[in-house]
Structure 1
Amino acid sequence: MAARRPARAAAANGEVRTGGSGRSDRRAELLRIAAGLFATRGYKQTTVRDIADEAGILSGSLYHHFSSKEEMLDEILRDFLGRLLERFTAIEEQGRDPKQVLDQLIEHSFATIHETPEAVALYQNESGALSGQPGFAYVDQLGRKIEEIWIRALTAGQKSGVFRDDVDAGMTYRFIRDTVWCAVRWYRPRGRFRHEAVAEQYLRVLYGGLVTE
């Protein structure tokens, strides 16, 4: 994992404490519920009681797994960003050429939207507000590391002649980033198109455009 969890989160994690996989599974389910509520209602608007009610437990029972609502947010974001950076890094290291790297970065982004839409939406909605907040500096730090991977792929493609060099790589990244990740607002895992098909359509428009001439 790219980022190490703080001691308070690691100590509370059922995976590193004795107690078996049941505790770990329950924590994962509670985090999924919390991520969904944070994404739809907003982090500040969601209470511990809301999470407990959704999980069908008493509010006090939630504290057997997490010390606070903030710890849940921290664990969701650390896991999401850490996994994303880890996978993007592997794609960059294994890629044979810049276009292949960009293809796979985009394909994995849509796969992430499919697999963890709650975490994606939460990050989209809350990352700006968390900038500069105590204990959440890693959100910006990991975000910059991810951005650097994408820009390196775009810049390498420009230098090799695969991508046009009359556009700014940083701006191009932002165009791609915002159009890809904002798809979480409308993409439906059980909808007409699977994430693989959405990625294929996106790449077709990205490289070929809409104009037939």
Structure 2
Amino acid sequence: MKVAKGKPGWKKMPEEVRKESILQAAMLCFFSKGFERTSVQDIADAAGLTKGGIYFHFESKEEIRDTLIRNFLSWERFGFEEPEVVKLPAHLRLVEYLERLANRLAVEGNCSPRLFAEATACGAMEKEILEFYDSLEKLFSKTIKEAQKTGIIKADLSPELTARTLIALFDGLQIQSDISNQRALQTMGRQVLKGFFKSMLFLPHDNCEI
């Protein structure tokens, strides 16, 4: 995880590039050791900098964590409204949403929900995180309703409750993946989600394959 100290030309790099390097190092530290057990010195070592180099860009470890979470939660980065996503049938769009969440909320096999939980336990970022989940639930609920109209998803399911259940299942799979490689989100987790879709959500239909 450590980067060689004394990065050549560090001071000549644009500020945003330097900050991004620090954020990447901090993210790996937080995922490896947990936020509380990570020190600013750990981040500095991983980034190949001095502590002063970290404090030049960020006031504290908490500011680094909050910046990371804001970056994770940026709605635009998921591309939910990109043309190739929007044109998909509703049930496949729902699957694509989950794929995009998995690809953008997990980093090197580690998941951001743990970082979210650590932050909210300290009373930080709760409003932003809840707003993100509220937006996800609304998007999923709207898409489930659309799929119900086409006869792909069971009509007697509550779209709102099903959306919340699906997101909770996804987060749980991410956390299990973080605990054990044998429960990797990209393999075991995907199988669980497919089973959930086929047995709990989808009606038998020629066009409901995922």
Cα distance between partner residues in 2 of 1:118 and 1:43: 13
Deviation at 1:147, TM superposition (A): 2.0
Scaled by the length of structure 2, what TM-score is found?
0.68
- Structure 2: stretches of 5+ with no match in the other structure: 1-10, 201-210
Distance 1:91 1:192, change over 3 A: farther
Deviation at 1:62, TM superposition (A): 0.9
Counterpart residue number, 2:95 = 103
Map 1:59-208 → 2, pairs under 5 A: 59-83=51-75, 86-90=78-82, 94-115=86-107, 117-118=109-110, 120-126=112-118, 128-129=120-121, 133=124, 137-187=127-177, 201-208=191-198
- Local SS of the residue matching 1:161: coil
Distance 1:175 1:117, change over 3 A: same
- Structure 1: stretches of 5+ with no match in the other structure: 1-17
Cα distance between partner residues in 1 of 2:119 and 2:150: 34
Deviation at 1:83, TM superposition (A): 4.5
Q: Which has the higher contact order (CA 8 A, sep 6+)?
A: 1
Q: Give the number of equivalent residue pairs.
A: 188
Contact 1:34 1:51 in 2 (8 A): yes
Scaled by the length of structure 1, what TM-score is found?
0.68
Contact 1:121 1:184 in 2 (8 A): yes
Distance 1:195 1:184, change over 3 A: closer
- Local SS of the residue matching 1:64: helix
Counterpart residue number, 2:29 = 37
Distance 1:43 1:204, change over 3 A: closer
Deviation at 1:120, TM superposition (A): 1.7
C-alpha RMSD over aligned residues:
3.5
Deviation at 1:79, TM superposition (A): 0.9
Aligned-residue identity in percent? 21
Counterpart residue number, 2:41 = 49
